[in-house]
Amino acid sequence: MAIIHIGIGSNLGDRESHCDRALEEMKARGIRITKVSSRYETEPWGMREQPNFINMAVEAETDLSPEGLLAALKEIERTVGRRTTFLWGPRVIDLDILFYDDAIIDGACLRIPHPLLHTRSFVLLPLAEIAPGKMHPVLRKTVGQLKEERKSDEDAERKEQI
């Protein structure tokens, strides 16, 4: 059984209900959720002109392969109501594989760990709440360390804007 970490986000409609529905759909597909972070309201990343997100993270166990997990999460997104829009656009639900055990996968359709995980506070904040000691298998730093580094980067960015 693999230990996985999934990022969840929603910024359209009833954001909290969409996140709850995604959790229920994961359970219905045999993904055993073991930890759930708090929910965080965050500003959009990438394209700023859209509603704020609700973001959270979960830790779970699964017998699905990484590819099978990706397919299951895409199906859950469709079930919850996600429609294809554009890169970093608004969405009813977004489910991202952050980690799959300590796997490193660099394929055309699947990259694990998530390649932008360490640059996104909206991912690191909820993930650090449930898995601060999780080691990033590429960067060789814990999620807690990555969160602190990102916080330092954001503080420096704010100082430069003054």
Asked about 153 being catalytic, the answer comes back as: no
Considering 15, 96, 120, 150, which one is annotated as catalytic?
Answer: 96
Task: Verify whether residue 96 is a known catalytic residue.
Answer: yes
Which tokens hold the place of 12? Answer: 């359209």
Q: Report whether 25 contacts 76 (CB < 8 A).
A: yes
78 is a catalytic site residue:
no
Residue type, 103: A
Q: Which of 21, 91, 120, 150 is catalytic?
A: 91
Catalytic option among 21, 94, 120, 150 = 94
> Distance (Å, rounded) from C-alpha 4 to C-alpha 76?
16
**From 15, 21, 82, 150, the catalytic residue:** 82
Catalytic residue at 155? no
Which residues are catalytic, by number?
A: 82, 91, 94, 96
